[in-house]
Structure 1
Amino acid sequence: MRAFAELLDRLVLTPQRNAKIRLLSDYFRATPDPDRGYALATIASTLSLKAVKPALLRELVMERMDEVLFRYSYDYVGDLAETISLVWEPSTEAGSEAHDLSLGAIIHLLQSVGRSEVRGLVRSLLDQMDSSSRFAFLKLVTGGLRIGVSARLAKQAVADVGEKDIGDIETLWHGLAPPYRELFQWLEGKADKPQLTTPAVFHAVMLATPVGDKDLENLDPADFAAEWKWDGIRVQLANLGGTRRLYSRSGDDISGAFPDILEATDFEGVLDGELLVGGTSRTNQATRTFSDLQQRLNRKTVSAKMLEDYPAFVRGYDLLFSGTVDIRGDGFLARREQLAGLLETTSAAHFDLSPLVPFSSWEELNRLRSDPPDPVIEGIMLKRLDSPYTPGRAKGPWFKWKRNPYNVDAVLMYAQRGHGKRSSYYSDFTFGVWTESDGKDTLVPVGKAYFGFTDAELDVLDRFVRNNTIERFGPVRSVRAEPDFGFVVEVAFEGINRSGRHKSGVAMRFPRISRLRTDKLPRDADRLATLIAMIDGGARQP
């Protein structure tokens, strides 16, 4: 466990991507099975453990220390796992020496105990560990690593161990399970490549790079096709060997939430597209908002009413396999021609073809991008006509050119500590706009954001929260926000929809703090009516 704890500590303190990959690959080479496989599963979020709630951890630490002292400690440190790892006093019955249990042994214990035994096991394990191992253990059981390592970066480190292409790892990934013994045996040349039991596996997707200021200057528009970029989620649909699967862009199996799509998949092959929600009848296929799609996401099963109220469909972008034939090496136009022929025979209620956008110059395309025909469109996708389907994000073949974001001025209302490197700062902010209530102006929360600002700006925001906190609700701080005193921020966001789940009645898509408006008083911030007008009129801020 100490080796895993040291790995986490070093990853948190290492900002460079390549350096993180080296740390991971060195760990995987030096660590025996099953520990390295469990470490990989923990970092890639594929490990299933009995949930250990923060409330249980607080109860355990209250057995060992004064509640007020713990609250002060937690407020100072800002991270629950780090606080407990530092203040935990082992029981005298546990002995004076910390034991270095292996990561695999700890996971085996957690997976084998009953629900009623979890409390005693967690207490016992905390007693046996040193401070660093306790921190890693608590991050493990709460599922909140926050070490700046994505699943793809971890897979790249695994690929480096055996000098393999990351595409090979991602193709195998969903057919394997922790602790990935057969994967590491193959990477080290000790066994043959693992054979998957299902042919409908996930294949690494091809990604686009954002259009920069000068990216298009030396490119010929005649070499590219343009498509609308829709506000759904990117999916991969596979039907091979009698097995059907629907995957998200990151490779998560979301088949259970969309049985209607799988049932309508009467073709064999692998399709790349956008998952969207259409109209409320089979004859009305108008594309609905992302908030409608959210009603279907993250569900293991869906009711008949949910299927009727939120009918899903896939807008086809590309074809990876035509039947069992891999066509990813063909050019984009050749693949699209096969995709078009395939979709002509499918259910019109569940599939359609992403239309091409005619254009003759970058200026013309920019005008179309800025004023698309449907508010659900996020922008433009550009694809070289001859581009093969290459996993990853190579610059040149595909670009995404998003339309300008919405912008509003809002007032900070609440703040909360961040995690990891930001655990000492108030970096998660709730902001609001003005609306009339009982004959007077009042602020109503409309969103949360925890990025978009620089480190220097974070210092300014953190200092304001600390100096102007008026109420505390657990880890949340309410800050002073009045018409003539408060902090105004410019918030940029990609879209906005009505929402019955929020008090304001609106929900923002990907909000971020784009600018600190120290030149404005809170009374000058925007009003809720402005946001509602954006929904009703599709108006977009310059």
Structure 2
Amino acid sequence: MNRFAALLDRLVYEPRRNGKIRLIADYFRHVPDPERGWALAALTGALSFRNAKPGLIRQLIAERTDPVLFALSYDYVGDLSETAALMWSTPPHGRNEEPPTLSAVIDAFATLGRGELPALLAGLMDRLDETGRWALLKLITGSLRIGVSARLAKTAVAALSEGTPQEVTPDAVELVWPGLSPPYEALFAWVEGRGAKPETADPAPFRPVMLAHGIEDADFAALNPASYRAEWKWDGIRVQAVRGHDPAGHVVTRLYSRTGEDISGAFPDLADALAFDGVVDGELLVLREGRVQSFNVLQQRLNRKSVTPKLIAEFPAHIRAYDLLVEAGEDLRDQPFDTRRSRLEQLVSRHDGGRLDLSPMIAFSSWEKLAEARADPAAHGAGGDAEAVEGVMLKRADSAYLPGRPKGPWWKWKHDPHSIDAVLMYAQRGHGKRSSFYSDYTFGVWTSEGELVPVGKAYFGFTDAELAEIDRFVRRNTVNRFGPVREVVHTLSEGLVLEVAFEGLARSTRHRSGLAMRFPRIARLRWDKPPAEADRLETLERLLKAEAPSPPEARSANSASSPQPEP
């Protein structure tokens, strides 16, 4: 456990990507199985301890230190695990015991019941130093926040193959990953040249998805429009539909999220309606009367552990297909996009049931022509579904389907975000490297009665230098405290105006304004602007009304003269 804690501690203070990879790879080289496998599981988010909640940590620290002192310290530090680790009072007998191994910690938390956890956690904390306690608490709560993505950890695993007869790439690790489970001994044996490539026996496994980079204006100059294909980017959630057969010949159908989470249980109607043999990459949407509904409507079906017949009838799920990864047992991911697209069109044309259709391609001869289509989807093939278009996807015609986010083959060209000027109202400390700064912000706009009402929260979009500026403002202008939250001055004449960019709006019962933003981020600090000149709630109401789908009869009339999606 001490070596794992030291690794986490060094990773927090290592800002460079390659530096993080070297640290993790060095750890994997010098730590034996299964310890390193459990460390890999922690770094990739593959561990979950259902009964290890923050409340358990608060309960234990309250027994070891003064609650008022802890509350003051927590407010200053901003991170529960770090505060508890530093303030933990270890009895003399605990200092003489050997620290636990990472394997022992994971085994204990995976097997013991909820009633046994307090004594277990207290005993482990007594045997560890400050860094070890911090790492332990981060591990069991599943919030490492050390700037290491799952992809980066897998890249470090691939680095172990350097000098072996057959070098393993990070993409190769991604491809075998879905069929593996901790502590990954077969994976390490393979990359180190000591074993065969791991194979999965799962009849319907997840395949790592291919992602796109956002395109900038400067990128177009280096791209040839003739080499790319374009299609609409829909406002739903990315899914992978997999249909295969188990050894007994029974059909197995699964729906996966972009991250590989099995969401089939929330969409039994859709899983039952699919009738193909293979793997389809597409967008999960809700269709009513043949029209794509807003993301706000789709949210009624998301994150449900169980669904009722009424919910299924009111919010019918649908897949709009983008790509074909596997068909009839043949892996197509190394084939060019044009080949996969052609086969996808044939598959969708043969599919019955109405729950699967094809995302239409966009005809264009230049980037200027594509820009015209992007600006007016209804007139360029999206028809009556234009309100659900987020932008355009560009895919190179010869691109293979690669895991991760390779730069060049695929680009996303989303609609320009909306922006408003809002006033900072509340601030809260961040986590990890930001735990010493007030970096989570709630902001609001003015009502017609002159009241400031919250419309969103954001915690990114600013530079480190801007973060330091906002943090100083929050500390110097705090007018009230609510636990870890600070209320900052926000009057007509005093306060900080933030230019907030966002993707869309939706009705919300959680906000007093009745509205909530989608994907808000801080675009600019408006030190030059007095709070009285920030935007009004009426502005957002007008924007929401403009974004709302038109009545069915109006949509039909508008789309009658517009090109319709190809079958």
Query: TM-score if structure 1 supplies the norm length?
Result: 0.94
Q: Partner amino acid for 2:415?
A: R
1:430 paired with 2:430, answer no
Q: CA deviation at 1:175?
A: 2.2
Worse-superposed segment, 190-199 or 450-459: 190-199
Name the counterpart of 2:494: 485
Q: Work out whether residues 174 and 403 of structure 2, in 8 Å CA contact, stay in contact via their aligned partners in 1.
A: no
Name the counterpart of 2:82: 82
Write out per-residue CA displacement over residues 289-343 of structure 1, whole angstroms, 9 at most, x where no aligned residue. 2222222222333222221222111111111112111222332222111111111
Worse-superposed segment, 181-190 or 36-45: 181-190
Q: CA deviation at 1:228?
A: 1.0
Out of 323, 334, 340, which is 2:339 matched to? Answer: 334
Q: CA deviation at 1:348?
A: 5.2
Q: 1:20 to 1:216 in 2, by over 3 A?
A: same
Q: 1:96 to 1:443 in 2, by over 3 A?
A: same
| 1:97-176 matches, cutoff 5 A | 97=96, 99-162=98-161, 163-176=167-180
CA separation in 2, counterparts of 1:192 and 1:332? 30
What is the DSSP-based 3-state SS (H/G/I as helix, E as strand, rest coil) of the residue aligned with 2:153?
Answer: helix
CA separation in 2, counterparts of 1:190 and 1:361? 52
What is the DSSP-based 3-state SS (H/G/I as helix, E as strand, rest coil) of the residue aligned with 1:383?
Answer: strand
Report the number of matched residues. Answer: 531
Name the counterpart of 2:555: none
Out of 517, 522, 534, which is 1:513 matched to? Answer: 522
Worse-superposed segment, 413-422 or 161-170: 161-170
Write out per-residue CA displacement over residues 77-98 of structure 1, whole angstroms, 9 at most, x where no aligned residue. 2211111111111123x34336
| Structure 2 unmatched runs, 5+ | 162-166, 246-250, 379-385, 549-567
Name the counterpart of 1:367: 372
| 1:90-489 matches, cutoff 5 A | 90-92=90-92, 94-97=93-96, 99-162=98-161, 163-241=167-245, 242-279=251-288, 284-347=289-352, 349-373=354-378, 374-436=386-448, 440-489=449-498
Q: 1:355 to 1:257 in 2, by over 3 A?
A: same
Q: Work out whether residues 171 and 402 of structure 2, in 8 Å CA contact, stay in contact via their aligned partners in 1.
A: no
Query: TM-score if structure 2 supplies the norm length?
Result: 0.90
Q: Work out whether residues 204 and 253 of structure 2, in 8 Å CA contact, stay in contact via their aligned partners in 1.
A: yes
Q: 1:98 to 1:443 in 2, by over 3 A?
A: farther
Q: 1:148 to 1:311 in 2, by over 3 A?
A: same
Q: CA deviation at 1:406?
A: 0.5
Q: Work out whether residues 5 and 136 of structure 1, in 8 Å CA contact, stay in contact via their aligned partners in 2.
A: yes
CA separation in 2, counterparts of 1:425 and 1:136? 21
Write out per-residue CA displacement over residues 362-410 of structure 1, whole angstroms, 9 at most, x where no aligned residue. 1122233234432321111111223232333333322111111010100
CA separation in 2, counterparts of 1:304 and 1:262? 15
Write out per-residue CA displacement over residues 125-175 of structure 1, whole angstroms, 9 at most, x where no aligned residue. 111111110000010111111011111221222222234233332333232
CA separation in 2, counterparts of 1:501 and 1:344? 43
CA separation in 2, counterparts of 1:355 and 1:324? 26
Name the counterpart of 2:564: none
Worse-superposed segment, 113-122 or 48-57: 48-57
1:524 paired with 2:529, answer no
Q: Partner amino acid for 1:55?
A: G
Q: CA deviation at 1:416?
A: 0.3
Q: 1:394 to 1:237 in 2, by over 3 A?
A: same
1:537 paired with 2:546, answer yes
Q: 1:57 to 1:249 in 2, by over 3 A?
A: same
Q: Partner amino acid for 1:294?
A: Q
Q: Work out whether residues 285 and 349 of structure 1, in 8 Å CA contact, stay in contact via their aligned partners in 2.
A: no
CA separation in 2, counterparts of 1:388 and 1:73? 52
Name the counterpart of 1:37: 37
Q: Work out whether residues 278 and 313 of structure 1, in 8 Å CA contact, stay in contact via their aligned partners in 2.
A: yes
Q: CA deviation at 1:215?
A: 1.7
| Structure 1 unmatched runs, 5+ | none
Q: CA deviation at 1:457?
A: 1.1
CA separation in 1, counterparts of 2:465 and 2:425? 20
What is the DSSP-based 3-state SS (H/G/I as helix, E as strand, rest coil) of the residue aligned with 1:116?
Answer: helix
What is the DSSP-based 3-state SS (H/G/I as helix, E as strand, rest coil) of the residue aligned with 2:442?
Answer: strand
Q: Which has the higher helix share?
A: 2
